[in-house]
Structures are given as structure tokens and as C-alpha cells.
Amino acid sequence: MAEAFLNHLCGEEVIAQSAGLEPGQLNMTVVEVMGEVGLDISRNKTKTVASLMESGQSFDYVITVCDETNAERCPIFPGKGQRLHWGFPDPSAFHGPRETKLARTREVRDMIRAKIEAWCASMCRRLESVS
């Protein structure tokens, strides 16, 4: 969700890539709630943190979104990139009826969007003051 929002809301200044600790599949509940706000992530491919590190890419920012119960598992990227941690609940850990999982995933989606909107607005102001 964070990758999609970053690329959509701050795409002029940011190229976001998302990766998980372990190989996985797209969470179809997440795909559905992102579609509700006009972002189609159904064709996204999952990547692992290890594959991004092995690619040799450098990153200006590494933003981890692990929930607080899994924060100790959040990766540390080598390099000079600034690390930001924005902890959010993990929708793949939600249990219960479909409507409950949808409602909780929507809450997380909206929290992520609000955080990214604020960060992008801050970044755009910084970039404007440098130029």
C-alpha cells in the first residue's frame, strides 16, 4: 500500500519500491481496498528485501512499515539512506469474517495514506526550498 501511495502521491519526486522479509503473494484484501481508492495493484509482483539488497541499488530513504510486534524483524539496509519507521498493523495478520478484515484493512490503508500525504507535502516543501 505504501509503495502505491508514494508513487501515486509523490511520484514526481519519489520512486518507491516495496519488499517483504519473505517471499509472498499479494494480499487480495489489500488489492481490493486499494482498488476502492482508484489504485490498481493487482499486477504488482512481490519482492524480497534480500533481492533489493542484492540488486546493488542505493536508496535515499528506507521506510519500514512493520507493526510494532514485528519491529525487531524490520530490515536494516546498508548505505547512506535515511531510515524512517512508520509502524502499521499488518493486514495479513487480520482474522475474522471477510467484512471485519476489509474494515480493518481500510483503516490501515487510510492511516498509510495520511502518513504519506504528510510526508510527501513535507518533501515537496524541502525540494522547493533547495531549488
Q: Mean pLDDT, to the nearest integer, of 47-52?
A: 84
Cα distance between residue 6 and residue 84, in whole Å: 14
Q: How confident is the model at residue 10 (pLDDT cuts 50, 70, 90)?
A: confident
Structural domain including 53 reads 2-130
Here the cell at position 13 is 519526486
pTM for this model (two decimals) = 0.85
pLDDT tens, position by position, 29-48: 999 999 999 999 999 988 88
Q: How confident is the model at residue 28 (pLDDT cuts 50, 70, 90)?
A: very high
- How many domains is the chain partitioned into structurally? 1
Cα distance between residue 16 and residue 44, in whole Å: 13
Q: What is the CATH number of the domain that holds 59?
A: 3.40.50.2300
Which residue would you say has higher pLDDT here, 93 or 20? 93
Percent pLDDT > 90 in the chain is: 42
Q: Which of 106, 88, 114 is nearest to 36 (CA)?
A: 106
pLDDT tens, position by position, 105-125: 999 999 999 999 999 888 765
